[in-house]
Structure 1
Amino acid sequence: MIFIDTLHTKHNYFGMSWETELRLRHVKTFLAIANGESVSLAAESLHVTQPAVSRTLRELEDMLEVKLFDRVGRGLRLNEAGRVFQTHAAASMVELARGRDRLSSGGDHFVKLSVGALPTASSALVPAAALAFSDRCPEARLHVLTGPNWLLFNQLRQGEVDLVVGRMPEGDSGEGLSFEQLYIEDVVVVCRPRHPLIGGRLIAEIGSYPLVLPPKGAVIAPTVDRFLTSIGVSEYRARFETVALPIGRKIVQSSDAIWFISRGVVADELRSGALCSIELASPLLAGPVGVSISTSAPFSVERLILIECLRGAGR
């Protein structure tokens, strides 16, 4: 489906009858809201007022005869219908952009591939695959983005990134996406060298030390929550919340804090001895790492080659 200025139709994607005009501004506004799940951020990115964004969203929902967002407090959250519409609307905008680029390229066949890298894949997997990809596709430019998983998966559904590498999305965040597992990785508990817990009984003493935990919204957050619940410390609050290597590493090296983090994030630090891990051998802390793509993504040779490079790096 491609929207060119105005789409006249009597039947929408959800099987409901209507006769109206669906304009490009409705699609752009919806995608801007969905990207940050915020009317104010959408208004800022579109350079319009918040009331104008809210009015356009109401018009779109009236046309489709379905709500696209759930109201959560003062914020918005994409619901199931919204995620379905997001997938198709984003694909339409991507195709329009590609058509524009082909007409304005002037014969330039330079290809750009955008990759979202979650923390566990940023230290080793993505850099190794990027180097292999550069050798195989020297005419392509690889644009790597990092950020919170909810943002990267939203950008993936909207066609702003071509694939996301990292932990498998859980629950609603995987709507409209397909996932290929590359390997299984565990969450480790890391601490500074010569920490009192090294060689001791972590589970019995975990409440005695400050915890650095993944923030809500991080892919590994539910995994860590399940483990803490299983050992009876579900009510224990984190002293710090981060999955960022520079911050977590400095906190742990400078204190007795212990950090729950994906092994891939701290692999180099563990190899060098800058950090130490307290092995738990718990199946609750293991999870798949791989590649997520949009189910509506158009065919791309470059994306397939990069996925092959990621498979090789994963092995």
Structure 2
Amino acid sequence: MHEQGISTGLGRIKLRHLQCLVAIAAHRHMGQAAEALGISQPAVSKTLAELEDVVQAQLVIRSKRGVWLTEKGQVLLRYAGSSLRTLREGLDHISSTVRDEVAVIAIGTLPTVAPTIGPMAASVFKRSWPSVRLSVHTGVNAGLLALLRRGELDLVLGRVAEPSEMLGLSYEHLYEEPVVMVARPGHPLAGAPRVEPAEVAACGMVLPLPGTAIRRTIDSYLVRHGVGLGRAAIETLSDAFARAYVAHTDAVWMIALGVVEHDLRAGSLVQLACDTSNTSASVGLTLRSDSVPSHAVKALIECIRAAAALWRKRAGDAVGDMADEPG
């Protein structure tokens, strides 16, 4: 009887039910969800009630501050978002043979990873798949992984997450990336053969925002060396702001090597001789465990792997060149 009930429930669930749940979770507001779906708010409420009746569980809690999903709603959301995304991937895959519709691959990437292998992989990919549109989204690791679970992203390029954050996801290591300390040319510490973390802190530091994966690495490093942030510290996710700020002050920017690799090669920034060898962290590719990538996504993944291999070599050469420079 139980198996028959499940089968009957599955037969009653419609595509609009899943779309409604995903929209409510994304907007946390019934009116905004209705607007996004192009239907009335009563229609959203009716569709939600139908879905709750099918699964025999409350999925959404409403209040004056908005709506949010119950624990069972969160469980169903993971599968609903994934199912919708997989269906879109299937439609995109066959669309090229039946009509001139453009397929879209949604990529999530950390701001500290975006300048490294992403552009290189995209350039190679577009030569073979010119009709596929790449939609690149940046954000913090946790937010990107949440979008990936909901099926709003196809893959994420980011740092390795805690095991508790990887439920339903699979991670592939691509390369190790260290944090470096950089400053403007002519900085008082630029010519020193060795720089201590306390000296850097005294100049004022520019750091990624708290809660980000790279900031946790930096915080651990500073704690090990007994260094506090100080009142002069600035926290930002904007590389453009950080780059401009250190160019006009004596502040020191602590950031992933890939973000400033071009600046170091061009000479617009210099790396300080401060030992950050214990700050390397894994950067990799995260996918949904239950998804079946389309041919286009598989091709992009291969381009990402090739770009990562090339970046590993370039990063190794850059570190070697900097190590050979006179102090």
| CA shift digits 1:247-281 (9 cap, x unpaired) | 11011111111122111111111111111122443
Question: CA RMSD of the aligned region, Å?
Answer: 4.1
Q: Distance in 1 between matches of 2:231 and 2:163?
A: 23
5 Å-filtered alignment, 1:109-148, equals: 110-148=102-140
**Preserved CA contact (<8 Å) 1:83 1:175:** no
Contact 2:179 2:276 in 1 (8 A): no
- Please, which moves more after superposition, 262-271 or 152-161? 152-161
The equivalences for 1:236-315 within 5 A come to: 236=230, 239-315=233-309
Deviates more, 1:296-305 or 1:197-206: 197-206
Greater alpha carbon shift after TM alignment, 25-34 vs 142-151: 25-34
SS at match of 2:281: strand
Q: Contact 1:84/1:176 (CA < 8 Å) preserved in 2?
A: no
Residues 66 and 120 from structure 1, CA distance in 2 versus in 1: closer, same or farther, beyond 3 angstroms?
A: same
Number of the residue aligned with 2:183: 191
Code of the residue aligned with 1:263 in structure 2: it is L
Q: CA deviation at 1:138?
A: 3.2
Between stretches 23-32 and 224-233, larger displacement belongs to 23-32
Letter in 1 for 2:195: R
> What is the aligned counterpart of 1:151 among 136, 143, 146?
143
Identify if the C-alpha distance between structure 1 residues 246 and 304 changes in structure 2 by more than 3 Å, giving closer, same or farther.
same
Which protein is bigger by CA-based radius of gyration? Answer: 2
Equivalences, count:
297
For residues 116 and 267 of structure 1, the distance between their equivalents in structure 2, rounded to whole angstroms, comes to 21
Contact in 1 for aligned 2:197/2:227 (Cα 8 Å): no
The alpha-carbon deviation at position 124 of structure 1 amounts to: 3.3
CA contact (8 A) 2:110 2:157 kept: yes
User: Could you tell which deviates more after superposition, 38-47 or 279-288?
Assistant: 38-47
Deviations along 1:115-140, one digit per CA (max 9) or x if unpaired, are 22222332231111111112222342
1:220 is aligned to: 214
Q: Secondary structure at the match of 2:223?
A: helix
Amino acid at match of 1:132: V
Unpaired runs of 5+ residues, structure 1, are 1-8, 13-17
The equivalences for 1:2-41 within 5 A come to 10=5, 27-28=18-19, 30-32=21-23, 34-35=25-26, 38-39=28-29
- 1:285 Cα offset (Å): 1.1
Aligned mates of 1:149, 1:308 — CA distance in 2: 22
- Aligned partners of 2:153, 2:66: CA distance in 1, in Å? 25
* 1:216-259 CA distance string (max 9 Å, x none): 34221211111121112356467321232211101111111112
Aligned equivalents of 2:84, 2:268: Cα separation in 1: 46
Higher strand share: 1
Task: Supply the distance in 1 between the matched residues of 2:163 and 2:204 (Cα, whole angstroms).
Answer: 29
Among 78, 93, 98, the residue aligned to 1:87: 78
Q: Does the 8 A contact of 2:175 with 2:282 survive in 1? A: yes
CA-CA distance at 1:312 after TM superposition: 1.2
Give the whole-Å Cα distance in 2 for the aligned partners of 1:246 and 1:237.
22
Q: Contact 1:35 / 1:154 at 8 angstroms: preserved in 2?
A: no
SS in 2 for 1:142: strand
- In the other structure, the counterpart of 1:168 is 160
Distance 2:280 2:169 in 1: 21
- Counterpart of 1:15 in structure 2 is none
How much identity, in percent, do the aligned residues show? 35
Corresponding residue SS for 2:213: coil
Conserved? CA contact 2:197–2:222, under 8 Å:
no
Query: Any gaps of 5 or more consecutive residues in structure 2?
Result: 310-327
Aligned partner of 1:179 among 171, 175, 180: 171
